[in-house]
């Protein structure tokens, strides 16, 4: 019997508007787009922000092309959740088939999402018209409270507290449950309950974490977003296993997100900050949830041999200290072989011995774990680190 495994990929994690500021490049600047491949091969896409363009450029037909069907759940019609649609190349291929799910907006009426497509591509806003989009497109209206099945997977939609409405989705697959709750603000008793229902017992609970708790109480109150602290409260209360902080503010730099994540990890054990390129595997043997960052963006590397001492925190949350050699180093980071398995997105203190004018000198660097791969040495992991100062 094979173990059912689901794969959740993050293609866009930024809220409100894309950022191309180098200070935000580590977590990424594309607006919301997630992809979930269920154990039965069904491909789900959650939201169509600018991350959708990258998903399209790496397109592989779902299920090896045998049943090339993709189910796209759109939470609401704010720009940051739809602006990738015209740039999604698989929509221009006749043999592809897409099933879109979203709600009837009181501002648009029937076929709201279809109208959004047409409006987005109307002249003079876009150079090609709708007729170029040759893929089959089917639209299904869903309402808060609806449940339906796609293959072996059950999808439940719930209303969330957000201006002009937003749906949260809970997808139950045989490998585990993903709750996707972007764009929501706490404070409406009924809708807070909806959020808790989505999150209850979920393996992955993705929640809006745009603002700091201080902003949420003061200057950003009523803007329709939440904070890392609210996410940890709901996750703890509802027994969600892993919390993913999502919809990062465009003004939040990587450094600020590092600090937000650190605070959230003090409140709840298993937290990740959504990061472009992050992949979470559900249902893998031995470990319910695994997060990794395959093929992280790295610059040209130079072979090196530096003796180093590395201090960090393991996947299980324990401090460790280990002596090793740094073999591969670039201006931005290094690849370090370790016996301990550090936690993804945690800090590492790397002390390297480097030859200086007065003999060997210790060089202290603070690194950040962006990638974990198998190492050539038995019992080791290859840890990709980006230096933060
Ligand atoms: Zn948004
Ligand atoms: Zn919104």
Q: How do the residues of the chain divide into helix, strand and coil, expressed in percent and rounded to 5?
A: 20, 40, 40
Report which of residues 163 and 363 the model is more confident about.
163
pLDDT at 297: 45
In angstroms, what is the span from residue 210 Cα to ligand 1's centroid?
9
Q: Which residues contact 337 (CB under 8 A, 6 or more apart)?
A: 324, 325, 327, 375, 377, 380, 381, 382, 383
Ligand nearest to the CA of 160: 2
Most confident stretch, 258-272, 351-365, 375-389:
258-272
Q: What percent of the chain has pLDDT over 90?
A: 74
Distances 214 to 29, 226, 230 between C-alpha atoms, Å: 23, 11, 12
pLDDT at 139: 96
Cα angle 239, 80, 171 (rounded to 5 degrees) comes to 30
* Residues written for the chain: 389
Distances 66 to 39, 70, 222, 224 between C-alpha atoms, Å: 15, 12, 46, 41
Ligand nearest to the CA of 162: 2
* pLDDT over 70 (residue 174): yes
pLDDT at 300: 46
pLDDT at 303: 62
Least confident of 63-67, 229-233, 314-318, 346-350: 63-67
What span, in angstroms and rounded, lies between the C-alpha atoms of 311 and 325? 13
**How confident is residue 264, by pLDDT bands cut at 50, 70 and 90?**
very high
pLDDT at 66: 60
**How confident is residue 388, by pLDDT bands cut at 50, 70 and 90?**
confident
What span, in angstroms and rounded, lies between the C-alpha atoms of 289 and 235? 15
In angstroms, what is the span from residue 72 Cα to ligand 2's centroid?
17
Residue 177 three-state SS? strand
Q: Which residues contact 272 (CB under 8 A, 6 or more apart)?
A: 242, 243, 244, 245, 261, 278, 280, 291, 344, 345
* pLDDT over 80 (residue 286): no
pLDDT at 296: 47
What span, in angstroms and rounded, lies between the C-alpha atoms of 93 and 70? 13
pLDDT at 101: 98
Name the residue among 330, 312, 332 with its Cα closest to residue 322. Answer: 312
In angstroms, what is the span from residue 225 Cα to ligand 1's centroid?
8
The strands making up 33-37's β-sheet, listed across from edge to edge, are 136-141, 97-102, 69-73, 43-46, 33-37, 6-12, 279-282, 289-292
Least confident of 67-71, 168-172, 344-348: 67-71
pTM for this predicted structure:
0.87
* pLDDT over 50 (residue 109): yes
Ligand nearest to the CA of 17: 1
In angstroms, what is the span from residue 159 Cα to ligand 1's centroid?
15
Instruction: Quote the longest CA-to-CA distance of the chain.
Output: 76
What span, in angstroms and rounded, lies between the C-alpha atoms of 265 and 141? 38
Sign of the CA dihedral running 343, 345, 348, 353: positive
In angstroms, what is the span from residue 119 Cα to ligand 1's centroid?
19
Give the pLDDT mean for 74-92.
Answer: 96
Render pLDDT for 45-68 as a digit per residue (tens, 0 to 9). 999 999 999 999 988 766 566 655
Based on its alpha-carbon atoms, the radius of gyration of the chain, rounded to whole angstroms, reads: 22
Tokens found for residue 76:
């609401």
In angstroms, what is the span from residue 21 Cα to ligand 2's centroid?
22
Ligand nearest to the CA of 166: 2
* pLDDT over 80 (residue 8): yes
What span, in angstroms and rounded, lies between the C-alpha atoms of 160 and 1? 39
Cβ atoms < 10 Å from Cβ of 299: 9
In angstroms, what is the span from residue 79 Cα to ligand 1's centroid?
8
In angstroms, what is the span from residue 244 Cα to ligand 1's centroid?
15
Beta strands 319-329 and 333-338, pairing class: antiparallel
pLDDT at 166: 98
Render pLDDT for 297-336 as a digit per residue (tens, 0 to 9). 444 455 667 789 999 999 888 999 999 988 777 777 888 9
Name the β-bridge partners of 137. Answer: 98
Average pLDDT, the chain: 91
Tokens found for residue 147:
């449940």
User: Which secondary structure element, helix H or strand E, spans residue 281, and what is its range?
Assistant: strand 279-282
């Amino acid at each position: 019997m094979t173990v059912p495994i689901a794969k959740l990929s993050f293609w866009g994690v930024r809220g409100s508007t894309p950022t191309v500021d180098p200070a935000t490049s580590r977590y990424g600047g594309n607006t919301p787009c997630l992809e979930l491949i269920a154990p039965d091969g069904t491909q789900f896409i959650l939201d169509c922000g600018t991350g959708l363009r990258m998903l399209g450029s790496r397109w592989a037909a779902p299920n090896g092309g045998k049943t090339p069907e993709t189910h796209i759940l759109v939470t609401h019609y704010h720009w940051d959740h739809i602006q990738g649609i015209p740039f999604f190349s698989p929509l221009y291929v006749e043999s592809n088939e897409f099933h879109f799910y979203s709600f009837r907006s009181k501002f648009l009426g029937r076929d709201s999402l279809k109208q959004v497509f047409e409006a987005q591509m109307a002249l003079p806003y876009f150079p090609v018209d709708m007729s170029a989009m040759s893929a089959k497109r089917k639209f299904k209206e869903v309402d808060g409270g609806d449940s339906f099945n796609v293959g072996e997977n059950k999808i439940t939609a719930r209303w969330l507290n957000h201006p002009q409405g937003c749906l949260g989705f809970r997808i139950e697959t045989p490998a585990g449950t993903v709750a996707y709750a972007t764009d929501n603000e706490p404070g409406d008793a009924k809708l807070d309950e909806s959020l808790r229902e989505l999150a209850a017992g979920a393996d992955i609970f993705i929640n809006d974490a745009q603002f700091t708790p201080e902003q949420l109480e003061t200057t950003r109150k009523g803007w329709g977003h939440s904070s890392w602290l609210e996410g940890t409260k709901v996750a703890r209360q509802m027994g969600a296993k892993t919390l993913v902080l999502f919809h990062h503010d465009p003004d939040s730099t990587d450094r600020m997100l590092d600090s937000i994540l650190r605070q959230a990890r003090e409140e709840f054990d298993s937290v990740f900050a959504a990061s472009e390129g992050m992949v979470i595997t559900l249902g893998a043997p031995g470990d319910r949830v695994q997060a990794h960052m395959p093929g992280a963006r790295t610059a040209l590397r130079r072979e090196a041999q530096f003796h180093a001492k590395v201090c960090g925190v393991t996947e299980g949350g324990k401090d460790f200290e280990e002596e090793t050699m740094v073999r591969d180093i670039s201006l931005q980071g290094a690849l370090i072989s370790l016996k301990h398995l550090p936690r993804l997105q945690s800090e590492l203190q790397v002390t390297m011995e480097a030859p200086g004018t007065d003999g060997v000198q210790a060089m202290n660097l603070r690194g950040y774990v962006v990638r974990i791969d198998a190492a050539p040495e038995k019992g080791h992991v290859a840890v990709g680190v980006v230096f933060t100062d």
